[in-house]
Amino acid sequence: MLTNVEHIGIAVKDMAASNELFTKLLNIAPYKSESVESEGVLTSFFKVNETKIELLEASNPASAIAKFIEKKGEGIHHIAFEVDDILAEMKRLEAEGFVLLNAEPKLGADNKLVCFLHPKSSNGVLVELCQERR
Ligand SMILES: CC[C@H](C(=O)O)C(=O)SCCNC(=O)CCNC(=O)[C@H](O)C(C)(C)COP(=O)(O)OP(=O)(O)OC[C@H]1O[C@@H](n2cnc3c(N)ncnc32)[C@H](O)[C@@H]1OP(=O)(O)O
Ligand SMILES: [Co+2]
């Protein structure tokens, strides 16, 4: 079951400048910064009540974030939903015709297991499923 919007992913070119901007915008400081080598991203997290903002900067040119910014510029990159059982949700969504971008859950940031759905199968929105690693 999807329980809530876990985070909104925003692609940025310059993490230091964007951290400063979002600190002013949200009037709070980021609570963590984490590099996810497997995704070629540096992340920075802000928590606004129960919803998080995840800033993403590409750490290498092959990164999905680098390609996204090259094509579309900075902006909202994905929406992440918290799930209580990522394997069950992946199975349910695949059966419903959504395209899974990874066949097995993979390690994400902020101690999560994640799976992405191809935006072409979800009205042009890149969706991420996140389950807390137990
Ligand atoms: C996991 C760490 C962290 C976390 O929260 O834990 C993250 O969130 S990491 C986030 C970065 N990682 C990913 O996004 C992994 C999943 N993404 C992918 O596999 C690719 O980015 C993919 C498949 C969405 C697109 O890659 P591709 O090489 O196919 O790039 P194209 O430019 O050819 O895109 C194909 C098609 O999709 C459209 N597109 C691409 N990205 C997005 C997006 N973020 N939102 C909506 N649409 C997107 C792109 O425009 C192309 O459409 P077209 O009509 O052909 O222009
Ligand atoms: Co994310």
Q: Which H/E stretch holds residue 91?
A: helix 86-95
pLDDT at 111 over 90: yes
pLDDT digits (tens, 9 = 90+) for 34-66: 999 999 999 999 999 988 999 999 999 999 999
The residues, any chain, with a CB within 8 Å of residue 111's CB and separated by 6 or more, are 132, 133
Residue nearest to atom 20 of ligand 1 (CA): 64
94: exposed, middle or buried (Cβ count in 10 Å: 0-12, 13-18, 19+): middle
Query: What is the per-residue pLDDT for 50?
Result: 87
Mutation pick for ligand 1 pocket among 126, 132, 133 (CB with most ligand atoms within 8 Å) = 126
> What would the two tokens of residue 78 be?
């994905």
What's the DSSP call for residue 100?
Answer: B
| Best mutation site among 5, 55, 67 for ligand 1 pocket (most ligand atoms within 8 Å of CB) | 67
pLDDT, position 51: 87
Ligand 1 atom showing the smallest separation from residue 126 Cα: 45
- Report which bound ligand comes closest to the CA of 126: 1
What pLDDT does 98 receive?
Answer: 98
- pLDDT the model gives residue 60: 95
pLDDT at 44: 98
Burial bucket for residue 125 (CB in 10 Å: 0-12, 13-18, 19+)? exposed
Alpha carbon distance 92, 2 (integer Å): 11
Nearest protein CA to atom 27 of ligand 1, as residue: 64
Residue with token string 């991203």:
41
d(CA 36, CA 42): 6
CA of 107 to the centre of ligand 1 (A): 17
Q: Is 128 in the pocket of ligand 1 (CB under 6 A)?
A: yes
pLDDT for 113 beyond 90: yes
Give the pLDDT of residue 3. Answer: 87
Q: pLDDT by residue (tens digit) across 68-85?
A: 999 999 999 999 999 999
Look up residue 95 and give its two tokens. 């059966």
Residue 8: per-residue pLDDT: 98
pLDDT tens for 2-39 read: 889 999 999 999 999 999 999 999 999 999 999 999 99
